[in-house]
Amino acid sequence: MNFCSQCGAAAIELRVPEGDTLPRYVCAACHTIHYRNPKIVVGCLPEWRGKVLLCKRAIVPRLGLWTLPAGFLENGETLAAGALRETLEEAKAQVDIGELYTVISLPHISQVYMMFRARLASLDFGPGPESLEVRLFDEDDVPWGELAFRTITRTLRNYFLDRKLGGLRLHVSAIEKRATLKPELTGAA
């Protein structure tokens, strides 16, 4: 951050404000403290007769890899509305949003994923501008080696495992930067 979004001054300092515990961007001109907090990524797992809907990404990062419809929650938007919007944008699909299914903290990139279960309302879907292809997959057909994000892999693995075990429940977890090196610290799937 170079300029203050409040007053426009090029007087941003990184320091711990009085009474605080973490360094913040503070404007030396107008004294506004510019807090920066995690972003929420919201999406869903659209189901249709045992199959799940995945989108092949047409954008970076992870272009050409498969994902569930998901994206950043907008200001003024509810979680369910965000999941609906992303699904419409990326898969041109109408869904009925169901229960919250996975919540995954990603502290190293300051994001929180919140994925809902959802039921496809019809087979009327197709690639939006951010997708190359949109398809339904059985568990055996899921391109496990070509999934775009670990959050998506975890959500899908939870889903198919829960189905086998006979009940879907909320999963709250975290993925740390070093998950592949120290899985015992992260509970990585």
Q: How far is the CB of 27 from Zn ion (least distance, A)?
A: 3
Joined together, the tokens standing for residue 5 give 């979004």
Q: How far is the CB of 28 from Zn ion (least distance, A)?
A: 8
Residues 27-86 touching Zn ion, rule: CB under 5 A, are 27, 29-30, 32
Of residues 126, 129, 59, the one with CA closest to residue 94: 126
Q: How far is the CB of 26 from Zn ion (least distance, A)?
A: 9
Distances (CA, A) of 134 to 85, 105, 125, 130: 16, 27, 7, 11
Of residues 49, 100, 48, the one with CA closest to residue 79: 100
| Per CB under 5 A, 185 contacts Zn ion | no
- Residue 9 vs 172, nearer CB to Zn ion: 9
| Per CB under 5 A, 110 contacts Zn ion | no
- Residue 32 vs 173, nearer CB to Zn ion: 32
In the beta sheet, which residues pair with residue 55? 67, 134
Q: How far is the CB of 67 from Zn ion (least distance, A)?
A: 38
- Residue 2 vs 122, nearer CB to Zn ion: 2
d(CA 4, CA 35): 12
Number of C-alpha atoms within 13 angstroms, CB side, residue 179?
17
The string of DSSP codes covering 57-108 is E-SSSSTT-EE-SEEEPPTT--HHHHHHHHHHHHH---EEEEEEEEEEEEGG
| Per CB under 5 A, 120 contacts Zn ion | no
- Residue 3 vs 72, nearer CB to Zn ion: 3
| Per CB under 5 A, 4 contacts Zn ion | yes
d(CA 35, CA 110): 13
Q: How far is the CB of 16 from Zn ion (least distance, A)?
A: 18
Q: How far is the CB of 2 from Zn ion (least distance, A)?
A: 12
- Residue 8 vs 107, nearer CB to Zn ion: 8
| Per CB under 5 A, 7 contacts Zn ion | yes
| Per CB under 5 A, 6 contacts Zn ion | yes
Please report, as ranges, the residues that interact with Zn ion according to CB under 5 A.
4, 6-7, 9, 27, 29-30, 32
